[in-house]
Amino acid sequence: MTPAETAGIERACTRLVLQFAKYNDDLDHEALAALFVEDCVFARPLDPAHPYYGKDKVHAIFRDRKARLTRHVMTNILIDVVSRDEARGNSYVTMMSAPDPDAPWPREGEGLFIGSFDDVFVRTAAGWKFKSRIGNVALYQGGRVPVLPIPTVEETGTAQ
């Protein structure tokens, strides 16, 4: 690959990372789901032990949960191009949120959380997509760590 091709793949994958945050914070769940391939894997940062399998299951997480006002601050985006059709990435996510996205701004946040994502990106006919996105949370300050209910197998789907 030429340096220009490598740089182009880095740009495309970086953009996916930023779009995931934007669509998540904008509550645009359909656009968020469209960033993944059909047979994807996704693990939420606060519950990495229970990954979700398949674009529909990922879509449902965001669509069906109670909406919050969130801001996912994405940084430290490191992309490693594996081949013309595959790349890996690591990025940091710093998150603040509050209940009720329709209340007037600015809202007092309920804690600041710093985690990261490990990503696998693949090239498809419709451009680069997430194949795999595994989150975690390392540190927080203020607020408290939410306890997420363990999802059912119906919710997560199963590895193909």
Chain positions contacting its own copies, by CB under 8 A: 3-4, 7-8, 10-11, 15, 18-19, 21-22, 46, 69, 71-78, 90, 92, 94, 96-98, 105-109, 111-115, 136-143, 145
Q: How near is the Cβ of 31 to its own copies at its closest, in Å? A: 13
Q: How near is the Cβ of 62 to its own copies at its closest, in Å? A: 18
Q: How near is the Cβ of 89 to its own copies at its closest, in Å? A: 11
Structure tokens at 114: 């710093």
Structure tokens at 99: 């209940």
Q: Residue 23, Cα to own-chain centre: how many angstroms?
A: 10
Torsion angles phi and psi, residue 45, rounded to 5 = -55, -40
Residue 31's closest CA among 158, 136, 155, 129? 129
Give the nearer residue to its own copies in terms of CB position, either 53 or 114: 114
Q: How near is the Cβ of 69 to its own copies at its closest, in Å? A: 6
Give the nearer residue to its own copies in terms of CB position, either 6 or 53: 6
Q: How near is the Cβ of 32 to its own copies at its closest, in Å? A: 14
Q: How far is CA 80 from CA 9, 30, 100, 119, 148, in A?
A: 9, 27, 38, 10, 32
Give the nearer residue to its own copies in terms of CB position, either 134 or 137: 137
A 10 A CB-CB count for 2 gives 7
* CA pair distance 43, 36, nearest whole angstrom: 13
Give the nearer residue to its own copies in terms of CB position, either 15 or 53: 15
